Amino acid sequence: MTSFSPALTFAFEIRARVTEPLGIARRGEVTEFTPIVGGTVEGPRLRGTVLAGGGDWSGTNDEVCRLYARYLIQAEDGAVIDIVNRGFYRPSPGSPGQDDGGLAVASPGLYFRTSPVFRTDAPAHRWLAETVFVGLAHDEDDVIAIRMYAVE
C-alpha cells in the first residue's frame, strides 16, 4: 500500500477588520457576535477586499472557543465570493511557536485553526469552491488574520 500525505500550499491571507464584540452570556458558555467591517485579501492565488456586513459568532466553554464566521470577499476582478469559516481556538500545550502537530503558529501557545468553505458563480474563482483549505489564524488588535492553505 502506498502512503499518501497531503501537502499544504499557501494561497492567500485574509485580514478581516472587526469591531468590538457584542456579548451574550449563557449558563456555562459565553456567546459573542463580532461584526466584520472590511479588510483585505492578498496572496499568490487571490487578491481583493473583505466587504463590510459579515460577522463572527463564537461560543466559549472551558477555554475552547468555537467559531462560525460568514462574510463576503470581492476579488480584484469584481467577483463576489461567499465564505463560511468554522474553527477553534484554544490554549496549546506545544512549545512556543509550535502547535501540537509541529506546525508554526502566529501566536505562540494558542491553537487557532479554521476550515473555510467558499461559494461563487464566477468561473475564474470556481477553484475556491472545489478546494479544501486550512486556515492558520491570529489576532492583531482590530484585525483577524487568516493565512489560507490549499490541501494538495
Angle at 142 between CA 47 and CA 72, to 5 degrees: 40
The CA radius of gyration of the chain, in Å to the nearest whole number, is 16
All three cell numbers of 93: 500545550
Q: Supply the CATH classification number for the domain 8-145.
A: 2.40.160.20
Domain residue spans in the chain? 8-145
Q: What tens digit of pLDDT does each residue of 40-97 get?
A: 999 999 999 999 999 999 988 878 889 999 999 999 999 999 999 999 988 876 544 5
pLDDT digits (tens, 9 = 90+) for 13-48: 999 999 999 987 677 778 899 999 999 999 999 999
